[in-house]
């Protein structure tokens, strides 16, 4: 089937935040021509190519990127890896879907192509859920990979035992993705802080628009959670644009400059340097 070309805006008003050298987008997706959605995943509404994203990069003054497996592709990682190849591994890495019975040779091949993490998606459409997390971790741990874990933060009680057992690094995605947001002093936010205190958990500031009920550009209901997480462990926070925003209807797409500018309200200049440059460099080996 033919997938329509991109019609999203790829430039606009410049962000207020002047991104530092080496600024990294740690979460975005590509939809390339020739790669169709797979059974179990959502349809692909339109393409999002490397050329498209490079215009967004220029708009936001970003230099490095982590291409993240899309639910649409399920276990077909070819488009993600093709994107990394086109961009070049000096500026790009990949997060891929890994089957719980993946062989060492398969992981080695993915690693050579720029993969550095495995996606665990405990939400509808995910290729690999938390029930398979331990098996996936066993596959990727020898290669120094991390796990990228997304779930509804309101349900963290159900996942704490599994998360505490993780030995490799792992990212809690989308500001904990509390759906809907909770108060910053909620016990479930406390649990996320306790995971950060164990030393191998990271938080990604990304996709606040997917959970906020008050809306952008300030996301007043997500704001207190984000600030508390950042203040607690600024050395283990990263940021992502979540471009091209396929998790929400077209009329709810956020402004990409606003997605970067939210850091002006959530972190000072020194912490923004960590979030955008230093922390991604440590996690991804840039």
Active site amino acids: 242
Sheet with 92-96, side-by-side order of all strands: 24-28, 64-68, 92-96, 115-121, 146-150, 170-172, 201-205, 237-239
Taking phi first (over 0 means left), then psi (-120 to 50 degrees means alpha), and beta for anything else, what does residue 215 get? left
Q: Where are the alpha helices (DSSP H) in the chain?
A: 50-60, 78-87, 104-112, 133-140, 160-164, 187-196, 223-232, 256-266, 269-273, 279-284
Rounded Cα distance, 189 and 209, in Å: 19
Rounded Cα distance, 137 and 219, in Å: 33
């Amino acid at each position: 089937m033919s997938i329509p070309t991109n019609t999203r805006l790829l430039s606009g008003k410049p962000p207020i935040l002047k991104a530092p050298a080496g600024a990294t987008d740690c979460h975005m997706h590509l939809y390339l021509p020739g790669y169709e959605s797979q059974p179990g995943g959502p349809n692909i509404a339109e393409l999002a190519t490397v050329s498209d994203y490079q215009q967004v990069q220029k708009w936001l003054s970003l230099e490095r990127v982590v291409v993240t497996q899309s639910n649409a592709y399920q276990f077909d990682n070819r488009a993600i890896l093709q994107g990394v190849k086109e961009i070049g591994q000096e500026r790009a890495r990949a997060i891929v879907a890994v089957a719980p019975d993946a062989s060492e040779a398969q992981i080695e091949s993915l690693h050579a192509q720029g993969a550095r993490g495995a996606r665990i998606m405990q939400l509808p459409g995910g290729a690999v859920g938390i029930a398979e997390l331990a098996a996936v971790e066993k596959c990727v741990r020898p290669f120094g990979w991390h796990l990228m874990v997304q779930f509804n933060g309101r349900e963290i009680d159900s996942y704490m035992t599994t998360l505490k057992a993780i030995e490799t690094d792992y990212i809690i995605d989308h500001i904990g993705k509390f759906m809907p947001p909770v108060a910053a002093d909620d016990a479930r936010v406390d649990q996320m802080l306790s995971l950060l205190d164990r030393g191998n958990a990271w938080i990604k500031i990304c996709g606040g628009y997917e959970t906020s009920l008050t809306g952008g550009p300030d996301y007043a209901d997500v704001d207190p959670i984000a600030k508390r997480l950042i203040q607690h462990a600024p050395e283990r926070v990263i940021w992502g644009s979540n471009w091209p925003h396929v998790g929400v209807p077209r009329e709810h797409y956020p402004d990409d400059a606003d997605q970067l500018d939210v850091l002006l309200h959530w972190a000072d200049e020194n912490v923004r340097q960590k979030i955008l440059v230093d922390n991604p460099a440590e996690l991804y080996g840039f």
